[in-house]
Structure 1
């Protein structure tokens, strides 16, 4: 296969050299088409990006819970000495009346509504009393008759909330459109002095996070681009067009956007991280082609032959590196999380587009510009003077130093890798989503302030199907909720359809089904929404506070398993089925899949790379060589994460595939150049030093450009992005270090071993044939 790839390289080089206009016209058409299709890309944040739509988990969550009971709330927090004053309650009434007229709002709950209900029962007039004494008297009645409902929105007399409930099945745009309406309604409600208001909740926090992401990512990408320019000027200035790799790779990124739109690959919070990776890999492809063509120019051949030789020798090597890189990303397809698979697909498409851009457009531009410059030099009688890279001699000296002390370096690298692989199993997993966003973000502080007062809002949801308004079913729901709240320490409370019926029937459940139906007819629709759908589906809500902070992913999984056992033990009435689902079940499953599956993805990637190299080269040594350094780098990174106290998150969980994708190509390109030089000399050491000196400058330029670009991400205000940037930079640094430390040692030792084995075989063959030769003589 390697021979086939190489044999076609020269023909492709002659075609590229002879058809510049065709190539540039096709590139222009691809760019126009990509811009068109890029406009069709959709941003996905729905459940489908976390859970496979064909899975049982998704079906239960989407159809049993989300479509029937799922709600999100905009929360208005009212605090201060006047939180329960007549003026505040009247402002709450104005606020709720205005918000209940807004599209998609299911309803609101406030102490004003509860006070007016009691006042209406007592006086026949539904209004907020003008007297503070009367309000305090009503609140004392509610504390005796309905303490759970009151404490949920009024834990003390200085703090209360007004939840504005919306269904989760409506589009995100519709959810966010209600937010300015809520802020406007709060302002128009005119709360009195001494009653401060804050509009908070998950919707308000999410809106601010998205705004902050858009602002910070634009700034970070601009800084990243500037740092890449600096890196290219520092380490790639020996070529005539040191900044050319940047527009070439950005052209590949534009084509990638177009392919995303054409293939309908959505953009998710994980797949957004693919673009820095693609810029790093695409820069490498462009630099390798440009470095080789400059090297050919310096040898004094014609411009045309320089382009042909570059494509003939570099295109196959880079293509093999692309295949191996793709194998690393292909391992992400083993994930059960759709957005991780989309990330892998996006990376695969992106590296192909960047390779095509570098090979056809990059080589064509350099060839045409050099041909024009060469023609001018011929007319003026000038000779082209190439510049040598100042880095190459330093790399040769460094590699020579390592090879002279190879035993201690190799032993140290292996020991650190094995220790790191063990330490990686003890690296903790960050499961608190609030830790992924800027900690000084005002809406986050407000959201945490809300949770400090009212507790977290995480829930476990149990869907009950059957004749849910039958008294026996309601009694079972009531008793099961009480049992779980008493027996499970981390379940702080349970509410259900039974709780709702009891609150409207003096604290008891009727014995007749028709009485239950009559009671439910009196309950406002927005209060019933969370507890009953039709007459055959109901919900039990188990309150578990801020679960990810208090329990973590493992603790939540253990609790849900215990609840499943309780559902089996606490036998439900005949004809009733129960299912545990909800947002917490989905997020817990997703975080577990994102983080605990990382070792499997890494192992699959390593095995794929090994077998692909074996097929390409049909040589066990060449198949093993690029895999071993990346295995060592993965171990080093695990050790660094453990020692530094870093944690895995949904972005850094792809670390293994990232290292395989970015680092393996350095080894492939070095190995390819080594065997190319080995064909010219019998001295293996000379071939290795020539190869590292020639291609090393390009690899360092590519690596440093990637490092400089990703360094900007470390300054991100988002801890998840900053952590991803830090880990990416460290991974590239370690991959570069291994390429010039571990890889040369392995390469030369395997080659010496191969020669020794060949010599032994020849000697053994001669010894076996010696008697026959004597007989012949």
Structure 2
């Protein structure tokens, strides 16, 4: 028994079965893990990321320290230092805390007591602990956590915040907390909040879309929102599959779900639209059968091109991109299956009458407005192509000039308390960028440390944007000898047979990060360090993220182009028909580059996938116009074929585009800046994909047909004259 026969003969069974899957998916979705951070930006075998993790492990940075700010008019006094000591003792009781470092704990370690004389206290603080007291109104405590999973880190961070609340704070003082673990759980909470906002927005936009464009199509108003039911069901099922597939909810995947609401609704709309057309002259079973078989085939081809675009996101091997591509591809496949099974089963139960007389169709206002576009395209094809070529040239010229955003902290909501404190921390520290030079040594002694210090001085002198550094020798000079340096301070720079040197730079942005990193490596190589070395730190990671973004965008776009071209060639078996849709989408990519450059929107780890996504989604519009033009061209002239293709196919195409715009538009309400920018760019891309299908595609078809006709005439003339 074929699937459609089962749907028509046992619709109740189909509905019960799919409802059970949806219910199971809701339960499964409760187990979705929420993650955040840059770890998903790197493949596991990435050398730069492996070096960074090695540095974190060896120098006990794996958890990212938690920083506690103590603020008051003057923090250098006995009462504040005593508070820091008590707070440190309270925090040390928290399970998972390895140690707490504060000006007070260092005083006790080195001198045994906290001086009551404020002059002595001030002198000691300035001499030994200036890093932790950058100004008289601010003292910092650093809490190091044992290497544990991120979920456990966040639990520790929450317990530290409880410990702070349980400790009596001096009058006039304020205590604030920041650090990666604190930011981690705040981001995860924000991901869920953002998902809720964008999902509700997407559903409301789809309701508006269906009321405006679809309510006039259906005879029974109760069925107007069936496509939305199918769309939400598909998203629910794919959400439930995420924990099964090991795909977490992240800054990236939380945007894929509301987007799917808009994208997947198109399949159900097309099936139901065809059913409403067929039911006017056929019985229910026949109308459903034709809708499933004929429209289903077209939708499957449309799905293939879309899937190619999303699956190309797997080609760079970046986990965050792969998750997005898999969720989108699976979601659309599930939506297609539900549109061919769940929707017809519901319609079968709802629809009772056999057929009814068809009312005369009125000319749509949309079709009237489309006639304006069709007239321009049909009468000025050369002008259209010239404009398209200019846009492509300018767009691809400015493409390398678009800035990259490699700072992860700019991807997340800027009103998060931990982010605001991070900015303050950067401000107190001078806003510097830090590169960490990790050197391999045979043994630790003052001679080796002195040579490492000389290397750091040499690098500082050669690299323009390096203005200062800190090495183990800095501590040796402060304390008089290596033996006198406290162990916990020494551990910040020495671990086993490796030493770390922090190089402070004014580098800002991907290009300066990259140039500075390369200069540091060249300087070390030229100096000639005996052992192995590597350069790491957030600046090095940001540089690698930028490189990954550039390479990934190129890879994804190339794979999408080639795969879609092969698919179209297999379907059409014609180079001309296969190339036309790609030319239109290439124009759209040029437009996106131009708008990003003019609006100052930076390229992010999310937006780099837009080229391949638009190739998969926007190409459907061009294919529909191409098909209709070629069909009409068999009966009428070029100009008339263009007009009919745009005016008669344009309504359905515009309806599909509006659904996509609703899905992507909801992302502009996300609390994550990276998703808002993605939503904005997607709106631009889909809008221009539609416009390009109505202009560039027909113009190219007309021009190529005329050129082909002239070449044939010349060939015939040459043959006759010969």
TM-score (norm 1): 0.83
Q: Deviations over 1:166-189 (max 9, x none)?
A: 25x422222222333333333444
Is structure 2 residue 114 aligned with structure 1 residue 128?
yes
In structure 2, what is the equivalent of residue 774 of structure 1?
A: none
Q: Deviations over 1:7-38 (max 9, x none)?
A: xxx98766654553454354335434544554
Match of 2:481, SS state, is coil
Is structure 2 residue 182 aligned with structure 1 residue 225?
no
Q: Deviations over 1:177-216 (max 9, x none)?
A: 2333333333444332343332233433443333333323
Partner Cα separation in structure 2 for residue 81 and residue 308 of structure 1? 79
Tell me the CA shift for residue 230 of structure 1: 0.8
Match of 1:467, SS state, is coil
Match of 2:620 among 665, 681, 684: 665
Partner Cα separation in structure 1 for residue 405 and residue 203 of structure 2? 30
Kindly tell me: are residues 85 and 194 of structure 1, through their superposed partners in 2, closer, same or farther at Cα, counting changes over 3 Å?
farther
Tell me the CA shift for residue 464 of structure 1: 3.4
Partner Cα separation in structure 2 for residue 491 and residue 50 of structure 1? 27
In structure 2, what is the equivalent of residue 192 of structure 1?
A: 170
For structure 1, which segment, 187-196 or 12-21, has the greater mean C-alpha deviation from structure 2 after superposition? 12-21
In structure 2, what is the equivalent of residue 541 of structure 1?
A: 501
Partner Cα separation in structure 1 for residue 3 and residue 627 of structure 2? 19
Kindly tell me: are residues 330 and 117 of structure 1, through their superposed partners in 2, closer, same or farther at Cα, counting changes over 3 Å?
closer
Tell me the CA shift for residue 117 of structure 1: 4.2
Alignment of 1:61-100 (within 5 A): 61-63=52-54, 65-66=56-57, 69-71=60-62, 72-100=64-92
In structure 2, what is the equivalent of residue 162 of structure 1?
A: 141
Is structure 2 residue 390 aligned with structure 1 residue 390?
no
Q: Deviations over 1:265-320 (max 9, x none)?
A: 3443223332243233212222222222223334x233333323333332222222
Tell me the CA shift for residue 614 of structure 1: 0.6
For structure 1, which segment, 65-74 or 651-660, has the greater mean C-alpha deviation from structure 2 after superposition? 65-74
Match of 1:151, SS state, is coil
Kindly tell me: are residues 133 and 466 of structure 1, through their superposed partners in 2, closer, same or farther at Cα, counting changes over 3 Å?
closer
In structure 2, what is the equivalent of residue 712 of structure 1?
A: 666
In structure 2, what is the equivalent of residue 572 of structure 1?
A: 529
Unaligned runs of 5+ in 1: 1-9, 121-125, 510-515, 772-777
Alignment of 1:372-451 (within 5 A): 372=352, 374-375=353-354, 383=357, 385=359, 390-391=364-365, 393-394=367-368, 397-402=371-376, 403-451=378-426
Match of 2:144, SS state, is strand
Partner Cα separation in structure 1 for residue 291 and residue 636 of structure 2? 24
In structure 2, what is the equivalent of residue 7 of structure 1?
A: none
Partner Cα separation in structure 2 for residue 400 and residue 635 of structure 1? 23
CA contact (8 A) 2:29 2:239 kept: yes
Match of 1:245 among 222, 227, 231: 227
Kindly tell me: are residues 454 and 699 of structure 1, through their superposed partners in 2, closer, same or farther at Cα, counting changes over 3 Å?
same
In structure 2, what is the equivalent of residue 263 of structure 1?
A: 245
Match of 1:649, SS state, is coil
CA contact (8 A) 1:666 1:736 kept: yes
Tell me the CA shift for residue 84 of structure 1: 0.8
In structure 2, what is the equivalent of residue 31 of structure 1?
A: 22
CA contact (8 A) 1:259 1:349 kept: no
Partner Cα separation in structure 1 for residue 517 and residue 682 of structure 2? 35
TM-score (norm 2): 0.89
CA contact (8 A) 2:460 2:469 kept: yes
Unaligned runs of 5+ in 2: none
In structure 2, what is the equivalent of residue 210 of structure 1?
A: 188
Partner Cα separation in structure 1 for residue 408 and residue 646 of structure 2? 45
Kindly tell me: are residues 189 and 481 of structure 1, through their superposed partners in 2, closer, same or farther at Cα, counting changes over 3 Å?
farther
Q: Deviations over 1:192-246 (max 9, x none)?
A: 2343332233433443333333323312321221122112211222222332221
Partner Cα separation in structure 1 for residue 366 and residue 701 of structure 2? 19
Alignment of 1:618-633 (within 5 A): 618-633=573-588
In structure 1, what is the equivalent of residue 263 of structure 2?
A: 281
CA contact (8 A) 1:280 1:702 kept: no
Alignment of 1:485-496 (within 5 A): 485-496=460-471
In structure 2, what is the equivalent of residue 551 of structure 1?
A: 508
Q: Deviations over 1:112-160 (max 9, x none)?
A: 2233345x3xxxxx22233324423544xx62xx4xxx22112232222
Q: Which has the larger radius of gyration?
A: 1
The CA RMSD over aligned residues, in Å, is 3.3
Kindly tell me: are residues 691 and 295 of structure 1, through their superposed partners in 2, closer, same or farther at Cα, counting changes over 3 Å?
farther
Kindly tell me: are residues 766 and 138 of structure 1, through their superposed partners in 2, closer, same or farther at Cα, counting changes over 3 Å?
closer
Tell me the CA shift for residue 627 of structure 1: 0.9
For structure 1, which segment, 158-167 or 449-458, has the greater mean C-alpha deviation from structure 2 after superposition? 449-458
For structure 1, which segment, 592-601 or 107-116, has the greater mean C-alpha deviation from structure 2 after superposition? 592-601
Is structure 2 residue 488 aligned with structure 1 residue 507?
no
Partner Cα separation in structure 2 for residue 134 and residue 46 of structure 1? 43
CA contact (8 A) 1:200 1:446 kept: yes
Tell me the CA shift for residue 39 of structure 1: 4.5
CA contact (8 A) 1:79 1:160 kept: yes
Partner Cα separation in structure 2 for residue 14 and residue 176 of structure 1? 53
For structure 1, which segment, 728-737 or 10-19, has the greater mean C-alpha deviation from structure 2 after superposition? 10-19
Tell me the CA shift for residue 673 of structure 1: 4.7
Partner Cα separation in structure 1 for residue 290 and residue 633 of structure 2? 17
Task: State the number of aligned residues.
Answer: 716
Partner Cα separation in structure 1 for residue 297 and residue 714 of structure 2? 33
Partner Cα separation in structure 2 for residue 311 and residue 684 of structure 1? 33
In structure 1, what is the equivalent of residue 678 of structure 2?
A: 724
